Amino acid sequence: MMASALIEREQARAEFPIRNGVFIAVVGPSGAGKDTVIGYAAERLSADEGVDFVRRVITRPCDGSSEIHDTLADAAFDEAEESGAFALTWEAHGLKYGIPASVDEAIANGRVAIANGSRSAIPVLRERYANVAVVEITARPEILAERLASRGRESRGEVLARLARAAAVELSGPGVVSIDNSGPREIAGECFVAIVRKAIAHSDVSGTV
């Protein structure tokens, strides 16, 4: 039994990293407008069948004011994770986040998968997928503070603490691009669309090799 388990484990490892497609992780501080930029790209690329805009699973109700996601209670999320329902998961701000396991098949089939991600999950993404692009959406500090305050979810102290945490994190490694979303969404949106189009072209080439 032990030998069999070890063989299965090694076979599972051999499947990674998953190739052909591209995973685009959109990261950045709260208030930067990640969902806005992703939504803009979804509108512009609605006719492109090679792109998947991934719907995350979160242990938070979907209020319709920001990202549209699927909701699970904590216990149900844990059960889903144990059953292999997620390609990867992470925790942040007291919530659990999951990327559906179907993304693995999409990447293997040469598709481009786009998801609102987390900086903490980037190392795992790079191990799981051969082609990972990290797009950091940013905005000027005063704009971040204004956007966060307008949500009314946190006190001024909590907003300042969140901004301080975000400023302390620096992204590194290959495939990292930063987009400033301080202005009209069309400006940042078109920059992001250009990145997605490059990923689509890369996937087309990878799938023919």
178 is in an annotated binding site: no
Integer Cα distance of 22 and 112 in angstroms: 5
Integer Cα distance of 13 and 128 in angstroms: 9
21 is in an annotated binding site: no
32 is in an annotated binding site: yes
The answer to whether the beta carbons of residues 164 and 177 sit under 8 Å apart is no
78 is in an annotated binding site: no
- The answer to whether the bond into 61 is cis (omega within 30° of 0) is no
189 is in an annotated binding site: no
Residue type, 71: T
Hey, which residues does 18 pair with through a beta bridge?
129
Alpha carbon of 147 to those of 32, 140, 204: distances in Å? 8, 11, 38
Q: Residue ranges for the binding site?
A: 28-35
Please state the residue numbers annotated as binding site for ATP. Answer: 28-35
